[in-house]
Amino acid sequence: MNANEMGRRASRLDIFIARMEAQKAFIEMVAGMIDGVEGPIFELGLGNGRTFDHLREILPGREIFVFDRSVTAHPASIPDGDHMIIGEIRDTLAFCAPRVGCKAALIHCDLGTGDPTADLAKAAWLAPLIKEHVAPGGYVATGIALDMDGFEEIPRSEAAELGRYWLYHKPK
Ligand SMILES: C[S@@+](CC[C@H](N)C(=O)[O-])C[C@H]1O[C@@H](n2cnc3c(N)ncnc32)[C@H](O)[C@@H]1O
C-alpha cells in the first residue's frame, strides 16, 4: 500500500524508493526503445555508478560516455578512461562532440538535487545543451524536468510522478 492509500503524506523514504523504481523502470523501458536509434548513451552523473552499471548490463553492445565533475563511484562501476569525461557538465557536454563523435541515442540525466529552485536553475542551462546532443529518434530520461523545443514528453506513470522522473523523445 502506498502513502496515499494509507492516508498520509509521502515521506522522503517513500519518495526515494519511488524515485529508484521509476529510474529503473524508465531505463529498462528506454533500453527497449532505442533499438533502431544509432549512437552512444550519455550518462550525466556517475555518482556511485549504480545506473551506469545497470545501463551497461542491459545494453551490452552500446558505448556509454559518463560525465561527472569527479569520480567517486564504487570501484566496480567506473568507466574506462576513454569513456569517463571529467569536469563541470556545463563545459564538458558543450565541448564533447570531437571526443564522442556523434549524437546520443539516449541521455540519462541524474543531476537532480531535489531542491526545486536549484533544479530550475540547472534545467535552464542543461535543457539547451542536452537538446543539442540527442540523435533524431533518441530519448532523454531525466530527474529534472526539461523544456526542449521539438521534443515530446512521454506521459508519466504515478510512480514516475512521485519519483520525479521525466522521459522525452526527439522525433525523427
Ligand atoms: C545523484 S548523483 C548520480 C547517481 C548515479 N546515477 C548512481 O546511480 O549512482 C549525481 C552526480 O552528478 C554529479 N554532478 C551534479 N551536477 C554536476 C555538474 N554540474 N557537473 C558535473 N557533475 C555534476 C555529482 O558529482 C554526482 O556524482
pLDDT confidence band for 19 (50 / 70 / 90):
confident
Residues 6+ apart with CB under 8 A from 57: none
Place 160 in a pLDDT band, splitting at 50, 70 and 90.
low
Residue nearest to atom 15 of ligand 1 (CA): 111
> The sheet that has 152-153: what strands, in order across it?
84-86, 64-68, 41-44, 104-109, 134-142, 166-169, 152-153
- Report domain extents, the chain: 12-169
Is-contact 107 34, C-beta < 8 A? no
pLDDT 10s digits, 78-131: 999 999 999 999 999 999 999 999 999 999 999 988 899 999 999 999 999 999
Q: What pLDDT does residue 1 have?
A: 76
- Ligand 1 contact, 68 CB (< 6 A): yes
CB of 89 within 6 A of ligand 1: the answer is: yes
What per-residue confidence (pLDDT) applies to 159? 63
Q: What is d(CA 120, CA 4) in angstroms, rounded to the nearest whole number? A: 27
Q: Which three cell numbers stand for residue 100?
A: 564522442
**What is the band of 164 on the pLDDT scale with cuts at 50, 70, 90?**
confident
CATH number of 12-169: 3.40.50.150
41-87 residue pLDDT tens: 999 999 999 999 999 999 999 999 999 999 999 999 999 999 999 99
Please give the average per-residue pLDDT across 128-142, as a whole number. Answer: 96
Percent of the chain surpassing pLDDT 70: 97
DSSP-derived secondary structure for 133-150: TEEEEEEEEESS----TT
6 CA from centroid of ligand 1 (Å) = 33
Residue 162 banded pLDDT, cuts 50, 70, 90: low
Ligand 1 centroid vs 149 CA: distance in angstroms? 25
Question: What average pLDDT does this structure show over 137-156?
Answer: 93
pLDDT at 163: 67
What is the reported pTM? 0.93
Q: pLDDT at position 69, please?
A: 98
